[in-house]
Chains A and B, each alone.
Chain A
Amino acid sequence: MKKFIIKFSILAIVIIAISSVVLFGLKGNPDAYFLAWGKKVDAVKNPNRDNAVILIGGSNLAFGMNSPLLEDSLKMQVINTSIHAGIGMKAMMDEFCKYAKAGDIVVLAPEYGHPYGTWVGQEALSQLFSIYPYIWKDFNGLQWKTVISEIPSSLSMKKDYYKYRLAHKKPKWNPYALSSFNDNGDVVAHWDKPKETFPHNKPADEDKFSEKYFTYLARQVKELQNRGVKVIIVPPVIEKTSFIAVQRNVKRIEETYKKYNLRQECPSEVFAFADSLNYNTSYHFGKQGADKRTLLLVPIIKKYIGK
Chain B
Amino acid sequence: MLFNSFEFLLFFPAVCIIFYALRKAKYQNIFLLLASYYFYMNWKPVYAVLILTSTAITYGCGLFVEKYQGNKRKQKAYLVTSLVINLAILFVFKYFNFINESVFSVLELFGVRWTVPNLDILLPVGISFYTFQALGYSIDVYRGTIKAEKNFLTYALFVSFFPQLVAGPIERAKNLLPQFHKEHPFNYDNAVEGCKMMLWGYFMKLCVADRLAEYVDAVYNNVPQHSGNSLILATVFFTFQIYCDFGGYSLIARGAAKVMGFELMENFRRPYLSLSIKEFWKRWHISLSTWFMDYVYIPLGGNRVRYARHLTNLMITFLVSGIWHGANWTFVLWGAWHGVFICLDNLYRHYFGKMKQDKPIAKLISIAVVFLIACFGWIFFRANSVQDAFSIIGKIISSHSGIFIHSNTQMAYCFLSLFILVAKDIKDEYQLKCNFMHSRYSVVRYISYIALVFYILLYGVYSGGQFIYFQF
Which chain A residues have a beta carbon within 8 Å of chain B's beta carbons?
1, 3-4, 8, 11, 14-15, 18-19, 145, 148-153, 155-156, 159
Interfacial chain B residues near A156, Cβ < 8 Å: 457-458
Given contacts A1-B20, A4-B188, is CB(A152)–CB(B449) below 8 Å? Answer: no
CA of A9 to CA of B219, assembled, Å: 43
Partner of A153, one of B6, B20, B186, B462: B462
- B458 contacts A155, C-beta separation under 8 Å: yes
Q: Is the CB of A152 within 8 A of B460?
A: yes
B462 pairs with A4, CB closer than 8 A: no
| B462 and A18 form a contact (CB under 8 A) | no
> Within 8 Å of chain A (Cβ to Cβ): is B419?
no
Most buried by B among A1, A3, A145, A149: A1
Complex Cα–Cα for A149 and B206 (A)? 14
Do B20 and A152 touch across chains, with their CB atoms under 8 A apart? no
A273 to B6, CA, bound (A): 37
Minimum CB–CB distance from B198 to chain A (whole Å) comes to 12
Given A4-B191, A150-B462, A19 and B449 contact (CB-CB distance below 8 Å): no
The residue in chain A whose Cβ has the minimal distance to the Cβ of B188 is A4
Would A3 and B188 be within 8 Å (CB), given that A18-B450, A19-B457, A152-B457 are in contact?
A: yes
Give Cα A145–Cα B5 distance, bound, in whole angstroms.
11
User: Which residues in A have their C-beta under 8 angstroms from that of B152?
Assistant: none
When chains A and B are docked, how far (Å) is the Cα of A18 from the Cα of B192? 22
Is B453 an interface residue when CB atoms closer than 8 A count as contact?
A: yes
Q: Which residues of A sit under 8 angstroms from B188, Cβ to Cβ?
A: 1, 3-4
Q: Give B residues with C-beta under 8 Å from A.
A: 5-6, 9, 20, 186, 188, 191-192, 195, 446, 449-450, 453-454, 456-458, 460, 462
Q: Shortest Cβ distance from B175 into chain A, in angstroms? A: 26
Closest 4 interchain pairs by CB?
A149-B6, A1-B186, A152-B457, A4-B191
Residues in B neighbouring A150, C-beta threshold 8 A: 462
A-B contact pairs, 10 of them (CB 8 A): A4-B186, A11-B449, A15-B454, A18-B454, A19-B457, A149-B6, A149-B462, A150-B462, A152-B456, A152-B462
> In whole angstroms, what is the CA distance A184 to B454 when docked?
39
Contact partner of B6 (CB less than 8 A), chosen from A145, A155, A159, is A145
Looking at the complex, which one of A4, A11, A149, A153 makes contact with B450 (CB distance below 8 Å)? A11
User: Most A CB atoms within 10 A — which of B6, B453, B457?
Assistant: B457
Question: Given the complex, which residues of B lie within 8 Å of A14, measured CB to CB?
Answer: 450
B20, B195, B456, B458 — most chain A CB neighbours (10 Å): B458
A-B contact sample (16 more), CB < 8 A, given A4-B186, A11-B449, A153-B462 = A1-B188, A3-B188, A4-B188, A4-B191, A11-B446, A11-B450, A15-B453, A18-B450, A145-B6, A148-B6, A149-B6, A149-B462, A151-B457, A152-B457, A156-B457, A159-B458
Q: List the A side residues contacting B186 at CB < 8 Å.
A: 1, 4
**Nearest-neighbor residue (CB-CB) of B442 within chain A:** A7
Residues of A within 8 A of B457 (CB): 19, 151-152, 155-156
CB distance from B399 to the nearest CB of A (A): 22
* A239 to B: closest C-beta gap in Å: 20
How near does chain A come to B442, taking the closest CB pair, in angstroms?
A: 9
Closest to B21 in A: A1
CB distance from A10 to the nearest CB of B (A): 9
* Chain B residues, Cβ within 8 Å of A155: 457-458
Query: Does B6 contact A15, Cβ atoms closer than 8 Å?
Result: no
Which residue in chain A gives the minimum CB-CB distance to B449? A11
A contact residues around B6 at 8 Å (CB): 145, 148-149
| Cα(A152)–Cα(B454), bound, Å | 9
A18 proximity list for chain B (CB < 8 A): 450, 454
CB-CB under 8 A from A148, the residues of chain B are 6
Across the interface, do B450 and A15 meet the contact criterion of CB distance under 8 Å? Answer: yes
- Minimum CB–CB distance from B283 to chain A (whole Å) comes to 31
Q: Taking the nearest CB of chain A, how far is it from the CB of B47, in angstroms?
A: 14
Chain B residues whose C-beta falls within 8 Å of the C-beta of A15 in the assembled complex: 450, 453-454
Contact of B458 with A4 in the complex, beta carbons under 8 Å: no
A197 CB → nearest B CB, Å? 11
Residue numbers in A under 8 Å from B456 (CB-CB): 152
Alpha-carbon gap, A149 to B453, bound state (A): 14
Decide: A152 and B458 in contact? CB cutoff 8 A: yes
Q: How far is the CA of A208 from the CA of B89 in the complex (A)?
A: 28
Closest residue to A156 on the B side, CB-wise?
A: B458
| Complex contacts, B458 vs chain A, CB 8 Å | 152, 155-156, 159
Nearest CB of B to A221, in Å: 30
- Across the interface, name the chain B residue whose C-beta is closest to A7: B192
Q: In the complex, which residues of chain A have a beta carbon less than 8 angstroms from the beta carbon of B462?
A: 149-150, 152-153
A164 to chain B, nearest CB (A): 10
Q: Please name the residue on chain B nearest to A207 by beta carbon.
A: B44
Knowing A11-B446, A145-B6, A149-B6 touch, does A4 contact B192 (C-beta < 8 A)? yes
